[in-house]
A = this chain, B = another copy of it.
Amino acid sequence: MRKITVAAIQMSIPETREKSIEKAERLVREAAAKGANIVLLPELFETKYFCQERRYEHYDLAMPLLENPAIKRFSEVSRELGIVLPISFYERDVSNFYNSIAMIDNGEILGVYRKTHIPDDHFYQEKFYFTPGDTGFRVWETRFGKIGVGICWDQWFPEAARCMALQGAELLLYPTAIGSEPIIGCDSMPHWRRCMQGHAAANVLPVIAANRTGTESVTPDDGNAHQTSELTFFGSSFITDPTGEILESADRESDCVLLREFDLDEIRTERYEWGVFRDRRPEMYELIAGK
């Protein structure tokens, strides 16, 4: 038996970075008080979703890993509470900007993963802000199991989930910022969930997604915004079992903490018994790697 409790935090984002970090910390402490060993915050929770519009000034939001205030703060919180915290942040290295997460285990930064798949749409203009990640998919051996993290748009790619599973991931975490589609006009929430439920089902491991909530707007009156736009983030954070069934589910509006205990040894047995990894045929998959 190897029992762990994982939590997903859903929240709307306050006006300032300082207030966002304070709010996130309050929710992380609430999750830990309820027994969470691993706590997942949403993608880029330090700020409003700045990718709604293109502004060169937003590049200033990016910082080197060790200068980022959320990384500094949550390293301390992780050590104090003895928990695992994957922290999403806007990373600047020598010449590039990345959409990254740092895996923090008991105060120690185990490493960084940089978002591999970068979306681009009218109000999700991420290709303007983020260079596609160069780290490859990563899995970390933490004190509470082997954890893989994909960042938002990565969640739409079965390849990302599979690459993490093949490296031994026992849990897949997806920090997220997704909401309305003002141009296409669809509600992508069920599609979004089914995609990740599929990753859980195919890889026989739990999937945890933490999304933001709230409506965020920019108007031409805001500094140098070029057009009015508005996104409503749909929350709907969830935790699945290893067959993809949703065990814990948040609504579209609330700040909340979802928690679930898993026995990772029991799930490993279930994964072995199902036999899908035994029967893979890598030599038949070259098209996926572009060969």
Q: Which residues of A contact B (CB under 8 A)?
A: 116-121, 132, 136-137, 153, 156-159, 161-163, 166-167, 184, 188, 190-191, 194-202, 243-245, 273-276, 278-291
Contacts and interface: CB of A to CB of B under 8 A. Distances in A.
Contact of A198 (B120, B188, B195): B195
B283 A289 contact: yes
A197 B284 CA distance: 22
Given A156-B202, A158-B162, A285-B289, A244 B191 contact: yes
B283 A156 contact: no
Nearest to A291: B289
A118 B279 contact: yes
Contact of A280 (B121, B157, B167, B291): B157
Would you list the 8 A-B pairs with minimal beta carbon distance, nearest first? A198-B198, A282-B290, A158-B158, A191-B243, A194-B244, A195-B201, A194-B201, A289-B289
A153 B276 CA distance: 9
Contacts of A198: 158, 194-199, 201-202, 244
A5 B284 CA distance: 31
B243 A190 contact: yes
29 contacts: A119-B279, A120-B275, A121-B275, A132-B281, A137-B287, A156-B202, A156-B276, A157-B279, A157-B280, A158-B159, A158-B198, A159-B288, A166-B288, A167-B287, A188-B243, A190-B244, A190-B245, A194-B200, A194-B201, A194-B243, A194-B245, A195-B201, A198-B244, A282-B289, A283-B289, A283-B290, A285-B288, A285-B289, A288-B288
Contacts of A162: 158-159, 287-288
